[in-house]
Amino acid sequence: MRRRTLLQLLLSLAAALPARIKLWAQAPLLSEADKGRIRRVAEIVLPRELGDDGRERVVAAFFRWLQEYRAGAEMDHGYGFTRLRKTGPSPADKYPSQLDALYARAQASGGLAAMTEDARRAAIEAAVVEAKVERLPARPDGGHITTDLMAFYFNSVEATDLAYHAAIGRDLCRGLDGSENRPSTLPTGVR
Amino acid sequence: MPVFESDICVIGGGISAALLAQRVSELKPGRSIVVVEAGDRLFDTEKRRQDRVRSLNYGENPWPGDFVEDQAAAGIISRTMAVGGSALHWGGVCNRFSAEDLRLKSMYGLATDWAIGWDELERFYCDAERVIGVSGEPSPLPQDRRSEPYPMPPMVLSWNLRQLKEWAEKSGIAFWSTPQAKNTVPYDGRSDCKRCNTCEICPTGARYSPDYTFKRLLASKAISLHDRTLVRRLVPADAGGKTPRIVSAQAVHRDRPDDPVEYRARLFVVAAGYCWSPHLLLSSSSSRFPTGLANGSGLVGRYMAGHSFISAQIELDAEIYPGMNEQHSLISREFFRCATDRPFVRHDLRVWESSAGRAPRLKDDRGRILLGDSVLADWRGRTKRGTARVRAYYDVHPSIDSTLTLDRTTTNRLGDPLPRITHNLDDATVARLPETKRHILDVFNRLARANNGKVLSTSEGTYLDHPAGGCRMGTRAGDSVCDSFGRTHDHENLFVVGSPTLPTAGCTNGTLTFAAVTLRSARAVADAL
């Protein structure tokens, strides 16, 4: 089969896909440049206790979460007040422009990388205020890249364990044995 | 037109249908049983585990496809319509009602008495607990006497619940482990609980779900299951005057809506829950039966019941680690009973661990934005104390105008009117509501005060939970739809089973009661063959 014919066939197959599948397939990927900019944001919005490796692990997991996000997927339809809902567009759609605005603001002070930590923090706080985000969402929702990254991490099983210095393991299948005891203290260095 | 003939046609595929089919197949092996369910069968357990992860990570439906898009009801509590029904995603709580629920009229002059005696129902509670598989700690109250032990030992109290029990009992109220349809040891071929914290979609099979029963019945060829098939109406025989037998159920497969299907059976059992059971009877109207079938009393779709609830978050001095076993709870039944010479108030009382006030946040109490280290520091500062979630389900009684009606302005794709549920409480309930709420809030404050606690917030339910009714049982044809076994007064071969038959909905979770009355009905259904 000639290359053009194959391409036409693939395009026609794609056109025939149900809308929901197409929506999932269209989840935008962040550019490497945007990923780099998010890593700089992570230095401020994630706790230092994670260390460089831990922070990079969280950021990588965040990128993976975005990659596997499905727009238009069925959501839980609730109990008591029930309605059918679907997930919205990928939150990543909004990140490039949010990062542009954040970095443009920082550019006036020599760029985010050149700024002191306090100045970077102030720039991010200003961006959060401007985005009118009032609380951490349950999951990233596109409100702002900074608060989405924080929500992604701080709502995790790992963050809860870190906050409590305890191996709670919420949502992990842990068995009943020993659950009558206080959760064990996290070993030193576990993040 | 395809015609399917059987001894019994069960309409609906939830927990009542599963238990009824199982029990009848045991009592009358070899009889043909067809179960017809409008929703899909969601039997793939590996996919269930994947869906759980998607639900946790993305908030996606843990049961994708568990509804029928155009088959919705205004005022319904859940859209779930699938093989397994609402009990696919139930929490598994298996509380019993109490003798008072069955004697409201004779004891208190309220609502109505049930047409079942407590001692008999208690035996079927034991039966249901065995069939479902319930782990529980016996109530210390003598009034809660059991004739048989729980099939499994109770769920261990987590560290958190141990702290909360110690705290709560300082109020002088006794608490114990809530009984649940969750295996604490391997049971009935299913795993023990792995404490995954997501009982609404149990990835291990430790929490009972009716789909396990259906799978087993299918494997043994005890039943035929016709899923994706919506029964639209029941058809009475031409003979029989005002009380004819039912001769068929007319249905359509959702993939072939223009090609009707007919089910013929000796017995028809409507096991479609509190909403779709009365809906089917009302939808089966004709010029001969203009108000629907089994409706000589005019009470189909009346006395729609449920219980109200009030919740609170209470901050307390306790070392609580949110997430240890969030779905397990303590229960007290101390308020199930009410002296007959005192204002009527009955409720259960539950206590859970909670993360309210202990979650990470973006802004501190002064409104300052927190980032990175400061989020963690702020969070840790709030982990020093703990939070308990408490809730009381309280007894309310439906009026005759608590209704399910056919909403002719809203139809499915076949043009059939869909249900509209409008709950209304009877006058006595409305009159005592302020006192009931005051009493419950006093109990919450009593709990809080007992150990340096503080009520952070309270909230009232906006719907009636564990709904029931719509085809209530009774001894007389004039004031009920069916007898205590669910046999309709008007059609000797038509039964309604489970939640719709309950005259009132108690003051605690209803599923075990739905199961118990269904198992009792199953004997009558089998005897009628």
Distance CA B516, CA B422 (A): 27
| Residue of chain B with shortest Cα separation from A42 | B372
Task: Quote the mean pLDDT of chain B.
Answer: 97
Element (H, E) at A11: helix A3-16
Is residue B145 packed enough to be buried (19+ CB in 10 Å), middle (13-18) or exposed (0-12)?
exposed
Any idea what DSSP says for residue B135? B
CA B131 vs CA B41, B127, B150: distances in Å: 21, 6, 11
Q: What is the DSSP letter of A49?
A: G
Model confidence at B322: pLDDT above 60: yes
Which segments of B130-172 are extended strands (E)? Answer: none
Rounded to an integer, what distance in angstroms lies between the CA atom of residue B489 and that of residue B483?
7
Angle (nearest 5°) at CA B481 between B266 and B402:
135
Residue B101 clears pLDDT 70, i.e. is over it: yes
pLDDT value at B335 more than 90: yes
Q: What is the mean pLDDT of residues B255-276?
A: 97
How many beta-carbon pairs under 8 angstroms link A with B?
159
Q: By percentage, how much of chain A surpasses pLDDT 90?
A: 70
Q: Which of residues 343-362 of B touch A (CB under 8 A)?
A: 359-362
Measured CA to CA, the distance from residue B460 to residue B391 in angstroms comes to 10
Which DSSP state fits B345?
A: -
Q: Where do we find the tokens 């840790």?
A: B380
Of B187 and A190, more confident:
B187
Cβ burial, residue A139 (10 Å; 0-12/13-18/19+)? middle
Look at B197 and A171 and tell me if their CB atoms are within 8 Å. Answer: yes
What pLDDT, on a 0 to 100 scale, did the predictor assign at position A28?
52
ipTM for the predicted complex comes to 0.92
Q: Is there a contact between B60 and A164 if contact means CB atoms under 8 Å apart?
A: no
- Indicate whether B17 pLDDT > 90: yes
pLDDT computed for residue B240 by the predictor: 87
Report the amino acid identity of residue B34: V
Q: Taking 80 as the threshold, does the pLDDT of residue B44 lie above it?
A: yes
Give the integer Cα–Cα distance in Å for B33 and B507: 34
Residue B255 has pLDDT above 70, yes or no: yes
Interface of B with A in 145-184 (CB under 8 A): 155-159, 162, 184
Interface test with A, best of B192, B324, B391 (most A CBs within 10 A): B324
Q: Which residue has the tokens 């927190």?
A: B370
Mutation to test the A interface, candidates B371, B462, B511, most A Cβ within 10 Å: B371
Residue spans of chain A under pLDDT 70: 1-28, 188-191
- Return the closest-CA partner of residue A45 out of A128, A164, A134, A157: A128
CA-based nearest distance B56→chain A, Å: 8
Name the residue among B320, B32, B131, B217 with its Cα closest to residue A166. Answer: B320
